[in-house]
Amino acid sequence: MKYNRVFGIVLDSVGTGAAPDADKFGDVGSDTLGHVGEFYEGNLDIPNLQKLGISNLRETPIEGVAAADKPLAYYGKMREISAGKDSMDGHWEMMGLPVEHALSLFPNGFPADLIDKLKDFSKRDVIVNKPYSGTDVIHDYGEEQMKTGALIVYTSGDSVLQIAAHEDIIPLEELYKICEYARSLVNEPPYVIGRIIARPYVGPDKDHFTRTANRRDFTLEPTGDTDLNRLQDAGYEVIGIGKINDIFSGHGISRGYHNESNHNGMEHVLETMGQDFNGLSFTNLVDFDAMYGHRRNPKGFGAALMEFDQQLGEVLAQLKDDDLLMLTADHGNDPGFRGTDHTRELVPVLAYSPSFKQTGESLGVRETFSDFGATILDNFGVNNVKGTSFLADLK
């Protein structure tokens, strides 16, 4: 075992340029980090990511973020081989379980038989039932939902069924129960949906509605063991921070933390750094995606990156010589691109430990996200089934 603790942090949706197969998804030209940098016109201040090598892994540095002369981290990119570009696909593949078969998509809304079952179970009507932006849908239909008590059901370009409801009209426990029932309907053909998402909101009217941190993802059960299971079975601790527990339906997670925000998630990372454990602390920071990527808000996206970078400085200062920090993303969600959906992009990978004896070098373009998990398993002497470890390259 080279490192006693590994801290893996997923910057949800922070892609770094169109993937080789982006044309299949209509995403040629997407570049989350590149377009955020362009929006800030050289004023994107991320010094800690910069010194790790965030611009070194790109053919063209992020505007205003020069490549480091002596990057602290080993740096590279990873490409996705999973059939989709959803968070579930990305995280499962990271942990050695690529999603090989496309999940169900509903560009024209959900079929009547599914909707009728939701109505019968919930004793509530269903409105909308089509692809929609999450913030727009509560603006346009939230007042109707409050008056009628109906469920706002909608989807996106991903394999998701989302149910929005005002917390004062449908209590959280009732909303979660309805989502759990929906989950039970779509686990096998003809409908296999990646995630059922509870989307509660609050506020007096359409101009003041806001989504709350009480979102919950009810994810398809992993279709096999993941690297999290393998670590746990080998006796190592796996700490899930943020929506990690939801994405893996609790499988392979020893204990977890719910995040209220990216900031709160990084506070949880710092908390686990103060704990004596042997294994993996695995974090998802969803605000980049949920609050800024889907809303096509490059200003907010960049501000979130800069806030993350400040807390990253605290993490770097607390790392021990036998700790390894690994940063990556699960897909892109380019706020400078058309539409409101995820973008098929390469994702960055940065690996750093204070014990490194030399300046970081390129890890190249990894052929699958599974290299991330394979490297973690290799560190702990656990056999992997997917991906190629780059542990030996970290010197």
Q: At residue 315, what are phi and psi to the nearest 5 degrees? A: -65, -45
Q: Could you tell me the two tokens for 213? A: 């941190």
Does 289 appear as a known binding residue? yes
Q: Which residues lie across from 255 on neighbouring strands?
A: 239
Q: How far is CA 150 from the centre of its chain?
A: 29
Does 294 appear as a known binding residue? yes
Tokens 């377009």 sit on residue: 35
- Sign of torsion over alpha carbons 8, 10, 11, 17: positive
**363/328 Cα distance (integer angstroms):** 13
DSSP string for residues in 217-232: EEEPPPSS--HHHHHH
Yes or no: say if 38 and 334 are a contact pair by the CB < 8 Å rule.
no
**143/355 Cα distance (integer angstroms):** 56
Does 334 appear as a known binding residue? no
Name which of 193, 165, 194, 159 is nearest 178 in CA terms. 165
Yes or no: say if 305 and 32 are a contact pair by the CB < 8 Å rule.
no
Instruction: Report CA Rg, the chain.
Output: 20
Residue 15 amino acid letter:
G
Q: Which residues lie across from 217 on neighbouring strands?
A: 197
**What is the end-to-end Cα distance of the chain in Å, rounded?**
14
Q: Exposed/middle/buried for 346, CB within 10 Å: 0-12, 13-18, 19+?
A: buried
Q: Which residues lie across from 77 on neighbouring strands?
A: 348, 365
| Alpha-helical runs (H) found in the chain | 32-40, 47-52, 87-94, 112-122, 134-148, 172-185, 227-233, 244-247, 262-273, 287, 298-318, 370-379
**299/296 Cα distance (integer angstroms):** 9
Q: How far is CA 256 from the centre of its chain?
A: 16
Residue 174's CB is within 10 A of a number of other CB atoms, namely 13
Going by the annotation, the residues of the binding site are 12, 289, 294, 330-331, 342
Going by the annotation, the residues of the binding site for Mn(2+) are 12, 289, 294, 330-331, 342
